[in-house]
Structure 1
Amino acid sequence: MRIGYVGLGNMGGPMCRNLVKGVNHEVVVHDLDPAAIAACTAVGARPAGGLAALAESSDVIFTSLPTPKHVEAVVEEIAAHAKPGTVVFDLSTNAPAVIRRLHAALAAKGIALLDAPVTGGVARAVEASIVVMVGGDEALFDQHRAMLAAFSGTQVHVGPVGSASVAKLINNMLVLCNMAVAAEGMTIGRLAGIDMGKLVQIVQNGSGDSFGFRGLTARAMKGDVAPSFALDLAYKDLGLAVDLATEHGVPGLMGPQALALLRMARGLGFGGLDTSAMLKVYETLLNTEVRA
């Protein structure tokens, strides 16, 4: 079997390398960044020589791309060149409606598409312990589960195509809202004059703890805002979640507020920094520094 892998960024790169090391199949790769390709070929992958060539020769294709528009462009190329019977897993964070539309377009050509977004962050992608959630044909999920397990610690079949994307958007909405309120809370603590290290210790061992809080305190509150999960991508993900809420008539009370904070951060030029750099909005507006 030949596996194609498209998109070798912060998440896609380590997932691909773990896939190469964890399966007994040939893996061919494609990315716009030659350095990203080289990092994967160094562990045994082969460069595909272009997206069309990858699509033509692969039995299974993984895509890990930044936005729905990128996924649509790549899937269009796959549809034009892949053979009937090819199975595509989209690991990207995508809009459910987009995934369903692409699924229908590929199905007309005899190509299967499953949405398979992941959660856990870059560190867990590196150690192959991320969670992959899958929407689509359950028999295909079962058939390829060992392949998914090569780069993830937990694999969950969620339901029909699009359902995994719903789960991913809700997951990301929760963590981003948690991080937003953590940024506000830590700023209050700083201006109220309490010991920030002790405040962090209390929250991390108390009921206010969360993945988002730990991300904020481990990065932005240490002055480290080099991108792990870029704020621009978080803004995209939360925007998709807010759109999904609107689609289903759910009152937007929390998500849109966190989205507004991310929008302010982007307006201040922080979009290319780590998502935890949302704290810098408070620091900028209040001319203070929040550190632990």
Structure 2
Amino acid sequence: MSIESKGKVAFIGLGVMGYPMAGYLQQKGYQVTVYNRTASKAAAWVKQYGGSHAATPAQAASDASLVFVCVGNDDDVRSVTYGDDGVLATMQPGSVLTDHTTASAELARELSKACSAKQVGFLDAPVSGGQAGAENGVLTVMLGGEPAAFDKAEAAIMSYARCAKLLGPAGSGQLAKMVNQICIAGVVQGLAEALNFAQNAGLDGAAVVEVISQGAASSWQMQNRSLTMLDGKYDFGFAVDWMRKDLGIALNEARKNGSHLPLTALVDQFYSEVQQMGGSRWDTSSLLARLKR
């Protein structure tokens, strides 16, 4: 039995996050047109999920009521948003642009103004949950923007999310993602030091984790990464390069708003050491590796 169409949407960027996110939209009944810089990836997505792919972001966004972007950084977002080939060239008044890229709050405010000039709604909507969260459709989405835009996009976003909350005006989603990454950086470093201590003390690390994960020391990182850390396996997950990008955004914002982030700055330096070890694409849990050199 076919699913009744919920309307035309566009999804720009089919990386490890965007590929399954766009897939959930198609599966939930939206008519999805995708664009990816590497066209073969877009063709593979269409073969797997259906829908269609376009040669440019502008073509993908044509006639779409909702446009989603999930690319690498501020400049990547601008490259698919502005100009003759950018989504704003064809988006119609009343449509909504949702940017899932982890980018700067400054960019979010810039895009909000650009969209407003075209009577297009805008939401900055970075996500948390990693590749597994995207593949399982259980992402957490932190949003900034106007309530009217959120009301139009919320149902579609919930196709691949378990929580989506509007936190304030444009930029608020990106600021919340910075809070998220600051928290994660400290937790992963603490877990790395704890596991290293346990092993140096002659304890069975896995057995210790089994016990302490039932108490106040537990965390998502402990539940999902401790065993792979103990095994020295890091060839998966959220890459160190991406984390350093995110922490750089947070540290830059902290300089603007007067926040002091000494632990975050220190962990960022530790991640630079992991990069120098050849771990640029390792999971962020690889902080333990630098303690074992």
Query: Please, which of 53, 73, 87 is the counterpart of residue 67 of structure 1?
Result: 73
Is the counterpart of residue 202 in structure 1 residue 214 in structure 2? no
Cα distance per residue 1:60-96 (max 9 Å; x no partner): 1100112222112212222334333331000111111
Q: Which residue identity does 1:32 align to in structure 2?
A: R
CA contact (8 A) 2:205 2:230 kept: no
Q: Once the 2 structures are TM-superposed, how far is the Cα of residue 201 of structure 1 from its aligned partner?
A: 1.4
| Contact 1:64–1:92 under 8 Å retained in 2 | yes
Indicate whether 1:119 and 2:128 are aligned: yes
Q: Aligned ranges for residues 1-292 of structure 1 at < 5 Å? A: 1-23=7-29, 25-41=30-46, 42-76=48-82, 77-284=86-293
> What is the aligned partner in structure 2 of residue 289 from structure 1?
none
Q: Is the 8 A contact 2:206 2:227 kept in 1?
A: no
> Retained in 2: the 8 A contact 1:176–1:212?
no
Query: Deviation of residue 19 (structure 1)?
Result: 0.9
Matched residues in 1 for 2:278 and 2:129: separation? Answer: 26
Runs of 5+ in structure 2 lacking a partner? 1-6
- Measured after TM superposition, the shift of residue 35 of structure 1 is 4.8
Query: Any unmatched runs of 5+ in structure 1?
Result: 285-292
Distance 1:164 1:271, change over 3 A: same
Contact 1:55–1:78 (CA under 8 A) maintained in structure 2: yes
What is the distance in 2 between the residues matched to 1:152 and 1:30?
Answer: 21
Task: Compute the displacement of 1:215 (Å).
Answer: 3.8
User: Against the structure 1 CA distance between its residues 283 and 38, is the aligned structure 2 distance closer, same or farther, given a 3 Å change threshold?
Assistant: farther
The 3 A distance-change label for structure 1 pair 277 and 34 is farther
Measured on the aligned residues, the alpha-carbon RMSD in Å equals 1.7
Q: Which amino acid aligns with 1:250?
A: S
Which deviations, in whole Å up to 9, do the C-alpha atoms of 1:123-169 show, x marking residues without a partner?
22222121122211102211222111111111211111111111111
Aligned residues: 283
Q: What's the offset of the Cα at 1:10? A: 1.1
1:39 Cα deviation from its structure 2 partner: 4.2
Alpha-carbon distance between aligned partners in 1 of 2:168 and 2:45, rounded to the nearest angstrom: 32
Counterparts of 1:218 and 1:16 in 2: how far apart (Å)? 31
CA contact (8 A) 2:34 2:53 kept: yes
- Whether contact under 8 Å (2:96, 2:152) holds in the other structure is no
Q: Alpha-carbon deviations, 1:112-132, whole Å to 9, x = none? A: 221111112222222212112
AA at the equivalent of 1:88: L
Bigger CA drift: 1-10 or 215-224? 215-224
**Same amino acid, percent of matched pairs:** 28
State the alpha-carbon separation in 2 of the partners of residues 39 and 172 from structure 1.
32
